[in-house]
Chain A
């Protein structure tokens, strides 16, 4: 599955806006994930997951920054996320089902904040893009 030229253009242009709210988007995405899918909290026993926690904010920023890296190298996402792919495969070993959950929560966050931009076409492009990102991150699992 690879992104068409049009899909890449949509992602890159929307990222310009998203990046201006990167940190809060990251935090909100994680809040949504932990509330809607409480089982995902099992990967963070060492975190304070209360709303407003510094750890939540820091981790949200990290996640969105990584998505940003993928956007900036949208023609070579596998290359851009190679180190993260190894991290998830050998150290974190987050079950693959969770990438779909996080992707969904990111899309909900973006849709809520940028309703005018989040057309059906944009929705499709983002869903596909996050699917590619998730694929890259689970590529080395076995």
Chain B
């Protein structure tokens, strides 16, 4: 569960309404792989990840980024029950994908940077603070079923 005030919820939903989930998803996942190259360990089957331009232009990265951000989008519709919403995905990431939960934090922060880049001034310190709570909540929910 995330503790957002009514004002923070407002900041989150009104900005998210303007987000192109496909574009931002691809951008965020791409940047994760460029800025933290060790995260590429999960994507051996993705083909050419040899340079920033190769990563950012990679079709599989874009497609997977869209998938990931669509799931995140789902979460935004259920902020009062993130653990429930992400329970199945949490099990998947632990049992099948074997992803260190630290990676959820890394991706969350990269997403925040991408939102800042897209929205500029509109991504005020207050809006950022609301989003930091959301990405932390999602990361937490995704790690919740780990054992």
Contacts and interface: CB of A to CB of B under 8 A. Distances in A.
A86 interface: no
A32 interface: yes
Contact of A35 (B34, B36, B120, B126): B126
Nearest to B51: A121
Given A120-B56, A123-B34, A124-B34, A111 B128 contact: no
Interface residues of A, number: 21
Interface string A22-34: 0000001001100
B116 interface: yes
Nearest to A115: B117
Interface string A18-60: 0000000000100110011100000000000000000000000
* Interface footprint category on B: 20 to 34
Contacts, number: 60
B113 A123 contact: yes
A108 B113 CA distance: 5
Interface in A103-118: 104, 107-109, 111-113, 115, 118
Given A120-B35, A121-B34, A121-B52, A111 B116 contact: yes
26 contacts: A31-B125, A32-B125, A35-B125, A35-B128, A37-B132, A104-B109, A107-B113, A108-B113, A108-B116, A108-B123, A111-B113, A111-B114, A112-B121, A112-B123, A113-B120, A115-B117, A118-B117, A120-B55, A120-B56, A121-B52, A123-B31, A123-B34, A123-B113, A124-B34, A124-B35, A124-B52
Complex A-B, nearest 6 residue pairs according to Cβ-Cβ distance, in ascending order: A35-B129, A112-B116, A111-B117, A36-B132, A111-B116, A121-B52
